[in-house]
Amino acid sequence: MEEFVFFISGKVARPLTIDPTVWIFDERKIDLEAFFQSDEGLPDDNDLVSYTKAVAKKWDKEMLEGSEPPNPNRDSNQIAFERQKWTNGSFGMPLKPFIRNAAPEESATAIEIRTTDGKTFPFSIEQGDSFIAAFSEKGQPLKEDGPVHVYLADDSSKEPVRRVHEIVFI
């Protein structure tokens, strides 16, 4: 059986082994179809700023409209809707936080994506900040040509790098 993980390695302080199957539960995941149809770009990478904005928006709404008590009928419908979205959606994960966590060394000059079939794809360090790892297509993990596909957030290449096994800083 083939491994369903990929690696961030090379000139990094902390090499990472990443299991994309757990990302379906991660709040940072993005709906790929909606993302590539909109012009918003990747979410802000500063978690504190994003969190503060979300809390402030909710606070403003409750101050203007008042808070709403829990509604079991509405909440169960929301759960069913989310479950349907998970089982039918195509999702990806921005890789910038993972790359930052791996802490690339100053001497790293490029990024190379290596696939399970032995191909390599070169990218600049700056392009690494816009990597999105697709991990689900139509509700299913990418078993045949995964574990992940890597897209560029700026949509400069319509075709992703498939069968990604390792992201190497060189």
Average pLDDT over residues 86-104: 88
Say if 1 falls within a structural domain. Answer: no
The span from the CA of 75 to the CA of 92, in Å, is 26
Answer whether residue 146 is part of any domain. Answer: yes
Question: How do residues 106-121 score in pLDDT, each as one tens digit?
Answer: 999 999 999 999 999 9
Give the pLDDT mean for 62-86.
Answer: 64
Residue 157 lies in a domain: yes
Q: Does 127 fall in a domain?
A: yes
Give the chain's domain count.
1
Residues 132, 167, 124, 105: is their CA dihedral positive or negative?
Answer: positive
Structural domain includes residue 88: yes
State the DSSP code for 142: -
CA 11/CA 107 separation, integer angstroms = 7
Helix (H, G, I), strand (E, B) or coil at 22: helix
Range of the domain at 86: 6-169
Percent of the chain with pLDDT over 90: 43
Q: Which candidate, 122, 104, 105, places its Cα nearest to that of 113?
A: 122
Predicted local confidence at residue 1, as pLDDT:
39
pLDDT digits (tens, 9 = 90+) for 140-161: 778 888 889 999 987 666 789 9
Cα–Cα distance, 93 to 23 (Å, whole number): 7
40 or 127, greater pLDDT: 127
Nearest to 111 by CA among 126, 97, 92, 100: 126
The answer as to whether 126 is a domain residue is: yes
